[in-house]
Structure 1
Amino acid sequence: MFKLGDFEYHGKTVFLRVDINSPVKDGKIISDARFRAVLPTILYLLEHRAKLVIGTHQSKPYKGDYITTEQHAEILSRLLGEEVEYVEDIFGRYARERIRALKPGEAIMLENLRFAAEDVFYRSIEECEKTFFVRKLSSLIDYVVNDAFAAAHRSQPSLVGFARLKPMIMGFLMEKEVKALKRAYETREKPRVYVLGGAKVDDSLKVAENVLKRGKADIILTGGLVGHVFTLAKGFHLGDANLEFMERKGLLELVDWAEEILNEFYPYVRTPVDFAVDYNGERVEVDLLSEEKWLFDRYPILDIGSRTVKKYREILRGARIIVANGPMGVFEREEFAVGTVGVFRAIGESEAFSVVGGGHSIASIYQHNIKGISHVSTGGGAMLNFFAGEKLPVLEAFRISYERFRDLKGI
């Protein structure tokens, strides 16, 4: 795969695809974490006098955080200390004229790429190549740099459509992400512990099944809704209130799949031994085997309990490799952040090489100032797909582009 150092950029027009899709509150972006993650790539290209065209998506149509990229341009300008001009167009005449007029060392930010209908749908590289988006811009671009790891599991025109037309190069963040994930996945160091939490239960089941079957994991710790499903699969009852909630979310249909995984790998999948419920606005911990289990019938489970945190901590401190995705509970409420913070702190305190990903996981890590984690991944879905053993379309596009243009390396 091509790396940034493989080409000269002076006077060359570079389309830089990033993922600075960020949380929005009351119409305002409230975190610049993803912006800071791609700054090294942007600075490198500008310092090497590229004519820089930056593209990102923001949310999805009809969502509350589906906004223009004007704020994105303002935030980048502030972080860089120089203007990144917001261009209220994507591939129309105004955008193309502005790209042609770029001078070396200048940068523009295109409009939210998902304002173009073509960039909302998943298609093959061949189909993406034929879109208006790619056809209109390809003649204006010399190189494509992709630093959007968080979107690497998507096959959309702005992400893969230029791969056979122009050299497609890994940005520094992309390179760092791929290197860290490969190290965790391909290592022979043991024990290798996976922590699967959050609400993406089907994706987490794919990960569990893949890493156990391929001998990539020694222990899997579960929490969040993933832990709920595995706990049910072990034959425990979580009460009417929680079963009703899981049924509404379509999670009960995944219990049979979890049971199949347990039938083959039972000793390696650990589930919570106690949970915390919201009892009249307060945190109350209930042991799974205690007589207080009746609380599960009336009150929602919002976290794993302290005994579970203690058991998980002991396992994590002895690990050599840790991969974690998703929180242990509803960490947004302070009284129910005990599990998530306890587990993530244990990961940070471990001497293991650790990879932690997922938007909620990252938010918790920064919110509680947790240190010591080797690599905090910017991609939740992309990371899960990677550890599930699935091919990521963007990584495949890098490979295809390298095969086609490798003779140009160094030009």
Structure 2
Amino acid sequence: MKTLNDFNFKNTHVLLRTDLNSTIISGKVQDSERIKEAAITINELKRKKAKIIILAHQGQPGENDFTSLRQHAKLLNKYAKVKFVQDIIGKRAKKAIQELKSGEALLLDNIRFVKDEFRPAKESNKLIATLAPLANIYVNDAFSVCHRNQVSLVSFPKYLPSCIGRLLEKELNALKKINLKSKNTLYILGGAKPEDNIKLLNKAKNNVLVTGTFAPLCIIASGKNLGLQNKIMKDKLYLVKKIKPELNKIIIPVDLAINVNNKRVNVKINNFPSNYKILDIGDKTIELYSNKIKKARALCMKGPAGNYSKKPFAKGTIALLRAIANSRALSLIGGGHLNDAISKYKINKKRFGYISLSGGALLSYIAGEKLPGLVALGIK
């Protein structure tokens, strides 16, 4: 496993894949732990007089948070001085790359704007054809997306000498030390990407608490109609079939929180369906889950329990994090949004075993799956 220690970066063009993906509220990109952590490797490469070409993404095509990295560049400049070009493989990008001086960094626009990012098997890939000849070394510092089989993660190591950045190195070293496989681990699976939770649900023996967008799907899988929430989650209902065989492992919420006239209202599961969107786990569920956390010897929490950006519906996320912080369990916290919640609500980070910036990649790693981004670097 090669790291930044294994190369002389002076006067070399370095293609750095990092993760700046952040929460967006009312069109404004929020400062995040991912942006702060990304600056560590960037600043080290700047000190080593590299010419840094930064590749990153925001959101997925078709989603509301799929946008340019212009705002990210402004936020990143608080921690590492970088230039930004609103281009990726066009003339403007190539010119900006060629004009880089030693110790300078250039952030290209959202790598996912280029369709070829999603076509790693395609011959004559435009990303590779354009960027590989302009670089001397490839550095992957984006553990949080290493479970994705995408060009910026798996293809460049075939053409360029490669290594891992400091954040990826930090994540791997920490995860090797925190072994949850041999313990009767309590899993708290939430967040906005329920499909990521399935892989770990299959591996878990029991003791799975469900929150976030995963909770409604598990409730639907148990045979309950939630009303409006069923319609909201219609694109995710295909997961219900995968959840049903695992229901015996899951401790389902007993109530959920909705917004009625700008107030948090708790609704018992038996009182559904309703015409309201579910925004958090309910107070009784918070109490139930917190008691489970107190008794746990090892636990892993992935993703917020609800809409943590709005205080009334951050209650579940805050309460569960505080319960974990006050427990004696070996704890692993995962996901960029959960990291942001810890910072936003000033929960003591030192009370957790390890806080990872990764969500889906973390679950894949714990589940024992091979991560394409790591395999491409020769890391098993």
TM-score (norm 2): 0.85
Q: Is the 8 A contact 1:327 1:361 kept in 2?
A: yes
Equivalent residue, structure 2, for 1:110? 108
Q: Percent identity?
A: 36
Is 2:210 aligned against 1:222? yes
Q: Is the 8 A contact 1:191 1:318 kept in 2?
A: no
Equivalent residue, structure 1, for 2:20? 20
Counterpart AA for 1:138: A
Shift of 1:60: 4.3
Residue range with higher mean Cα deviation, 166-175 or 274-283: 274-283
How do residues 31-50 of structure 1 correspond to structure 2 at under 5 angstroms? 31-50=31-50
Q: Distance in 1 between matches of 2:315 and 2:354?
A: 22
Equivalent residue, structure 2, for 1:151? 145
From 185, 200, 203, the counterpart of 1:210: 203
Equivalent residue, structure 2, for 1:350? 327
Cα gap change, 1:144/1:272 in structure 2, threshold over 3 Å: closer, same or farther? Answer: same
Residue range with higher mean Cα deviation, 140-149 or 300-309: 300-309
Higher normalized helix content (fraction of residues): 1
Aligned to 2:112, the other structure's residue is in SS state helix
Is 2:361 aligned against 1:382? yes
Is 2:170 aligned against 1:193? no
Equivalent residue, structure 1, for 2:94? 96
Show CA shifts across 1:71-93 (max 9, x none): 4334333323x4x2223443344
Shift of 1:194: 0.7
Aligned to 1:2, the other structure's residue is in SS state coil
In our comparison, the structure showing a higher alpha carbon Rg is 1
Q: Distance in 2 between matches of 1:366 and 1:115?
A: 30
Q: Is the 8 A contact 2:279 2:313 kept in 1?
A: yes
Aligned to 2:158, the other structure's residue is in SS state coil
Equivalent residue, structure 2, for 1:6? 6
Cα gap change, 1:32/1:160 in structure 2, threshold over 3 Å: closer, same or farther? Answer: same
Q: Is the 8 A contact 2:120 2:154 kept in 1?
A: no
Q: Distance in 2 between matches of 1:93 and 1:339?
A: 48
Q: Distance in 1 between matches of 2:87 and 2:291?
A: 53
Shift of 1:41: 0.8
Is 2:285 aligned against 1:308? yes
Cα gap change, 1:94/1:349 in structure 2, threshold over 3 Å: closer, same or farther? Answer: same
Cα gap change, 1:169/1:248 in structure 2, threshold over 3 Å: closer, same or farther? Answer: same
Q: Is the 8 A contact 1:22 1:30 kept in 2?
A: yes
Q: Is the 8 A contact 1:184 1:323 kept in 2?
A: no
TM-score (norm 1): 0.79
Q: Is the 8 A contact 1:184 1:322 kept in 2?
A: no
Q: Distance in 1 between matches of 2:27 and 2:337?
A: 20
Unaligned runs of 5+ in 2: none
Aligned to 2:361, the other structure's residue is in SS state helix
Shift of 1:314: 2.8
Show CA shifts across 1:130-167 (max 9, x none): 31221233233221111122322222222222111112
Counterpart AA for 1:113: I
Residue range with higher mean Cα deviation, 7-16 or 309-318: 309-318
Counterpart AA for 1:194: Y
Shift of 1:176: 1.9
Is 2:256 aligned against 1:275? yes
Q: Which runs of 4+ in 1 moved over 6 A?
A: none
Aligned to 2:156, the other structure's residue is in SS state coil
Equivalent residue, structure 1, for 2:244? 259
Shift of 1:343: 0.8
How do residues 230-379 of structure 1 correspond to structure 2 at under 5 angstroms? 230-234=218-222, 237=224, 242-250=226-234, 253-262=238-247, 266=248, 268-278=249-259, 281-287=262-268, 293-294=270-271, 296-297=273-274, 301-371=278-348, 372-379=351-358
Q: Distance in 2 between matches of 1:98 and 1:284?
A: 53
Q: Distance in 2 between matches of 1:298 and 1:93?
A: 51
Q: Is the 8 A contact 1:203 1:388 kept in 2?
A: no
Cα gap change, 1:335/1:168 in structure 2, threshold over 3 Å: closer, same or farther? Answer: same
Unaligned runs of 5+ in 1: 213-217, 403-411
Shift of 1:34: 2.0
Cα gap change, 1:221/1:65 in structure 2, threshold over 3 Å: closer, same or farther? Answer: closer
Counterpart AA for 1:140: L
Equivalent residue, structure 1, for 2:85? 87
Shift of 1:397: 0.9
Backbone CA RMSD of aligned residues: 3.0
Q: Is the 8 A contact 1:210 1:387 kept in 2?
A: no
Counterpart AA for 1:273: V
Is 2:170 aligned against 1:176? yes
Cα gap change, 1:399/1:305 in structure 2, threshold over 3 Å: closer, same or farther? Answer: same
Aligned to 2:8, the other structure's residue is in SS state coil
Q: Distance in 2 between matches of 1:395 and 1:302?
A: 35
Cα gap change, 1:228/1:158 in structure 2, threshold over 3 Å: closer, same or farther? Answer: closer
Cα gap change, 1:62/1:352 in structure 2, threshold over 3 Å: closer, same or farther? Answer: same
Q: Distance in 2 between matches of 1:60 and 1:226?
A: 19
From 114, 118, 123, the counterpart of 2:120: 123
Aligned to 2:280, the other structure's residue is in SS state strand
Show CA shifts across 1:241-261 (max 9, x none): x14522552355544433311
